[in-house]
Amino acid sequence: MVETEAATNPSERLKVFVSYSRTDLDFADQLVLALEDKGFEALVDRHDIDAAEKWKDRLGTLIASCDTVVFVLSEKSAGSPICAWEVEEAALLGKRIIPVVPHDPAGVAPPPQLGELNYIHFFRHPNVPGSGFYDGVQKLDRALRVNLGWLRRQTAYAERADEWRAQTGAARRPEDHLLRASALEEAEAWLASAPKNATVSPLVREYIVASQEAETRRKAETAANIAERERALKTARIATLIGGGVAFALIVLAVGLSAMAVTASREAGRNRAAVFAGEAEARMGQAKYAEAMLMALGGDPAGARNQIATLDFSGAGYPAASSALALAMTQNRFVRLFPDYSQGDGIEAVFSPDDTKILTYPEGNGDSASDEARIFTIEGRELGRLALGEAFDVATVPGPGWRILVASRTGVRLWDVEARRQLGVLSTTYTHSVTVSADGRRALTFGDDSMEVWDIQTSVLVRSFPGAVWTGGELSGDGSQILMSTPQEATLRNVDTGQITDTIATYSTNALALSSGGERVLVASIERRRVFLGDRNSTPRTFTAEVEDAHFLGDGRVLLGLFSSGRVALWTPQSGASEEFSVAAVSAWPLVVSHNGRHALAHGSQGLLLLNLEPRAPDVIDPRARRIDYGWSSDNGRNYGSAVFSGDGARLWVRSAEGSRVQNAETGALAYALEGTTLAAFSADGRRIVTLSGERTIVLRDAADGRQLNSVQVPDQVTTLAFAGDDVLIGSQFVRSWRPVTGRLEQLLNSETYVRSMAFQPERNLLLAGTDAGAQLWDLRSRNRLHLLAPGAEIGAVALSRDGRLAATADHSWDSWTPTEGRTWKIVLWDLASGRRLQVFGLPPAGIYPPRPVSLAISGDRLMAGMSNGAALSFALHPIVWEDAPTRVRMACATLRALGMTEYTVEDLQRFPILQNEARNPCSAVH
């Protein structure tokens, strides 16, 4: 649960350590006063650092005892070794870090641990209305009040873990200080409910894992006792046949023990599911989606491992593990494995010109046990083999048929793959690499001491570039330009004249890409960890890992190989958005990209992994908005547009600069205008619409023609509307119900924070309320809150599926903010059985004030979002989100088998001893 106010008891107040440079003392003093005024306990070190003093011990004690570290980021603190140590220590201990900026941070390089965090600005920024010290205090206050309970418990667990570690100097630590039973369950639930971007210290994780292992040993003993009781039950049943009152008593006793065993088994299964679901989400945070699937399977999603009683799961299984499994599947982009058959040399591959087939071949010097190339469909079916001989590199020649160029120590040979025969020879000198222009006319070859451009049709040498130590080269689509690099520079040259037309970089680069038309250039530097796009005056994009390969995909996106971290990144330069995927044990590069940019092959430890690069952008279904317009009105920088779908998806209420109206959602045809309305909601059947006029006037209308049916005045400023059957729900800080038939207006709930959006499900009587502190799911019959989704997030739009199984939320929190990249919004699909995420839809950052999702609707296999600029977007739901737990398991196992990743690693088995008594392959019994 997200706490929304600081504790009044001094011993329970949130402890905040302020890290700052001595040059920022005046600002730090003001900040400490503001924190104390808000009810927080500020910890600040005012001692000067003496070289002989044990300052690390003093500061380390303060950091260990705090719940949150506030880092004052300035030019001086960014360069301070002591401040850097404080940040490192805080990160090591898993403390939440909130950077605050007293002045414009332009040109300031923050510590690496702060690179992905949200900054709170305490200065007046020209692009942020109302910004300044007061605004910064208010934002810091709200940020500190999020997840207070979770942070306090982390500090408490850290203290207990430290005591456990300190009890003995021996390797084995006493179990008396470990967590047990309900205390362990609470810790596991706490670990599984970690807020996004939260870090749990390694010592706390070790402490909880040690407690789990000890609990597992105790449960094993309990299971043995339960088995003995079941034998007693069997004996009692036999005694029943013999007869007598004594036998009946034995039956009663044994049945009671068996019922206890079933209850204990259910609870143990839920606990196990929560632990492995948390681990699966941690792997997803590292972009390791296949590993996440394995971890989720360890949580027994379908309830298949329960050996004590036959449980009627009805397809539900253990929802926590089932939801984590679905989330990993929806985020995974890896499709299948093409196994390495080279016996040590490794394999390479190329796509056919139409991208429907793949040719794999052993990379080597001719000493491989097999120099045969193999031909597969993209679905993985082998079509045949080709005696290719020695191959250092292979390139497909675009055009009719399937021709390839093969580089070797004897030159470059031209092959017809379909005819299985060699067509000719392009070069007779040693060649280790070859590429082909997109039009199939020219080839670029690399030898030991020269780079050459050839005409493929005539086998004529067009241009030779001898002498320099060439480290890379790329041809433009028509072969007229070449981007080439040496250890000192990267230049763009005209192939026909050989002249330099532009110098792109004056340093060593290791990845080059040239767009098909040659209008865009991309170079990457490992040393600088930068990617430059355009020309030498372009603004660089900095990655936290070394970029070793780069490709244009033809749709504005760029594919990057970040192999030092084992990842592949999809980057959209126009918006700054990037999406990363982890490749287990990457052994080699480069990436191999299909001609249409829809697939790529990445090197893994077992072979080549096929990566699906299909764009996941939503469809724009409002005919009035053929594109997503990220512009804002000139009304003081504020956007005043919004759009709301009817429950059946047929109608759309739109508020824009032209006024408010209802239109056909498919054709955009105007139905009628609704001047002066600022909020709207449709009934589930789409026959009625309720609107807000002014701040407190609610009007019920016929959705077909806008005719007024009834109206009511409410006492509070209204923030959102929704239908609940025949009633209308009215949101403010309270949720009220209005019954138009009788005119009755009553208060239902007090949400303790403003309700921004609502959705109702009639069969289960569920209300989902989006607030400034998460999405609250309520049972209106009992008035009980069932779940808190997205704790701490500012939820601006919500939706429920018609069957009440799924929910959707639009997060209006600032996931990231910089003056150049702006905000980024996320839409999340939730499983209401577990309260966990199933699918995440991201909108790319676009400027300081991009439009927000202001309404949502789940309709069949689509999730629809009405945007604040009047556009209407439609996202595809992954099929797995509607499936039951056993089907999800089968779908995940099919994917893992295709990837050749169905077994737990030795490290996983050591970390989770409970897995050691089970099959190492969790899919072995799944068909």
Q: What is the mean pLDDT of residues 72-91?
A: 86
Residues 28 and 77 in one domain: yes
Residues 810 and 853 in one domain: yes
- Does residue 787 have a pLDDT over 70? yes
Where residue 67 sits, what CATH number does that domain have? 3.40.50.10140
Is residue 228 in some structural domain? yes
Q: Write the CA distances from 714 to 361, 394, 724, 734, 745, integer angstroms.
A: 73, 73, 17, 11, 8
The predicted structure's pLDDT at residue 384: 93
DSSP strand pairing (450-455 vs 460-466): antiparallel
Residues 24 and 130 in one domain: yes
- Going by the DSSP 8-state scheme, the letter that residue 859 receives in this structure is E
- Does residue 5 have a pLDDT over 60? no
- Domain boundary (230, 253, 276) is at 253
Element (H, E) at 101: strand 96-101
Total number of domains in the chain: 5
Residues 761 and 856 in one domain: yes
3-state class (DSSP) for residue 511: strand
The predicted structure's pLDDT at residue 54: 66
Is residue 357 in some structural domain? no
Averaged pLDDT of the chain: 78
Name the amino acid, one letter, at 724. Answer: A
pTM over 0.85: no
Give the pair of three-digit tokens for residue 508.
């060593």
Is residue 264 in some structural domain? no
Residue 529 CB contacts under 8 Å (≥ 6 apart), including other chains: 542, 543, 544, 545, 546, 547
Q: Residue 67: which pLDDT band, with cuts at 50, 70 and 90?
A: confident
Residue 507 CB contacts under 8 Å (≥ 6 apart), including other chains: 488, 489, 525, 527, 528
Q: Residue 296: which pLDDT band, with cuts at 50, 70 and 90?
A: very high
Higher-confidence position of 191 and 248? 191
Residues 655 and 771 in one domain: no
Distance CA(208)–CA(216), nearest Å, equals: 12
3-state class (DSSP) for residue 491: strand
Q: What is the mean pLDDT of residues 686-692?
A: 91
Residues forming a β-bridge with 876: 862
- Does residue 643 have a pLDDT over 90? no
Is residue 699 in some structural domain? yes
Distance CA(254)–CA(234), nearest Å, equals: 8
Name the amino acid, one letter, at 751. Answer: S
Q: What is the mean pLDDT of residues 812-816?
A: 60
Residues 694 and 722 in one domain: yes
Residue from 521, 541, 514 nearest 529 by CA: 541
- Does residue 125 have a pLDDT over 70? yes
Is residue 347 in some structural domain? no
Is residue 119 in some structural domain? yes
Give the pair of three-digit tokens for residue 623.
């005919």
The predicted structure's pLDDT at residue 539: 62
Give the pair of three-digit tokens for residue 527.
């040393």
Residues forming a β-bridge with 43: 17
- Find the range with the poorest average confidence among 299-308, 410-419, 425-434, 435-444: 299-308
- Domain boundary (750, 784, 812) is at 750
Domain span including residue 900: 885-926
Distance CA(14)–CA(200), nearest Å, equals: 18
- Does residue 270 have a pLDDT over 70? yes
Is residue 653 in some structural domain? yes
- Find the range with the poorest average confidence among 127-141, 343-357, 716-730: 127-141
Residues 20 and 64 in one domain: yes
Q: What is the mean pLDDT of residues 312-327?
A: 76
Residues 835 and 918 in one domain: no
Residue 214 CB contacts under 8 Å (≥ 6 apart), including other chains: 175, 178, 180
Distance CA(567)–CA(437), nearest Å, equals: 27
**Tens digit of pLDDT for each residue in 514-550?**
887 777 788 877 666 667 776 555 666 666 567 778 8
Most confident of 627-636, 638-647, 743-752: 743-752
Give the pair of three-digit tokens for residue 587.
């052994």
Phi-psi map region of 604: left, alpha, beta (phi>0 left; psi -120 to 50 alpha): beta
Residue from 247, 382, 374 nearest 391 by CA: 374
- Does residue 273 have a pLDDT over 50? yes
Q: What is the mean pLDDT of residues 683-688?
A: 86
Q: Classify each residue of 410-445 as buried b or exposed e, where b means 16 or more C-beta atoms within 10 Å of its C-beta.
A: bbbbbbbbeeeeeeeebbeebbebbbbbbebbbbbb
The predicted structure's pLDDT at residue 232: 47
Is the CB of residue 497 less than 8 Å from the CB of residue 481? no
Helix crossing, 55-65 with 148-166: angle to 10°?
Answer: 130
**Tens digit of pLDDT for each residue in 238-265?**
444 444 444 444 444 444 545 555 555 6
Q: What is the mean pLDDT of residues 629-648?
A: 45
Residues 873 and 901 in one domain: no
Residue with tokens 């959102």: 720
- Does residue 49 have a pLDDT over 60? no
Is residue 230 in some structural domain? yes
Q: What is the mean pLDDT of residues 143-169?
A: 73
- Domain boundary (867, 882, 897) is at 882
DSSP per residue, 759-802: EEETTTTEEEEEETTEEEEEETTTTEEEEEESTT--EEEEEE-T
Where residue 724 sits, what CATH number does that domain have? 2.130.10.10
Is the CB of residue 426 less than 8 Å from the CB of residue 407? no
The predicted structure's pLDDT at residue 585: 44
Higher-confidence position of 181 and 415? 415
Helix crossing, 245-285 with 202-242: angle to 10°?
Answer: 160
3-state class (DSSP) for residue 209: helix
Is the CB of residue 712 less than 8 Å from the CB of residue 743? yes
- Find the range with the poorest average confidence among 395-404, 427-436, 437-446, 583-592: 583-592
Distance CA(446)–CA(432), nearest Å, equals: 6
Q: What is the mean pLDDT of residues 403-429?
A: 93
**Tens digit of pLDDT for each residue in 887-909?**
999 999 999 999 888 899 888 88
- Does residue 410 have a pLDDT over 70? yes
DSSP strand pairing (836-842 vs 642-645): unpaired
Q: What percent of the chain has pLDDT over 90?
A: 22
Distance CA(359)–CA(338), nearest Å, equals: 10
Give the pair of three-digit tokens for residue 889.
């398991």
The predicted structure's pLDDT at residue 127: 67
Q: What percent of the chain has pLDDT over 70?
A: 77
Q: Residue 402: which pLDDT band, with cuts at 50, 70 and 90?
A: very high
The predicted structure's pLDDT at residue 41: 87
3-class DSSP string for 384-451: EEEECCCCCEEEEECCCCCEEEEEECCEEEEEECCCCEEEEEEECCCCCEEEECCCCCEEEEECCCEE
Residues 634 and 740 in one domain: yes
Give the pair of three-digit tokens for residue 441.
């006319």
**Tens digit of pLDDT for each residue in 462-497?**
999 887 678 888 998 899 999 988 888 888 899 999
Residues 57 and 90 in one domain: yes
Residues 798 and 774 in one domain: yes
**Tens digit of pLDDT for each residue in 419-435?**
999 999 999 999 989 99
The predicted structure's pLDDT at residue 688: 92
Q: Residue 635: which pLDDT band, with cuts at 50, 70 and 90?
A: very low
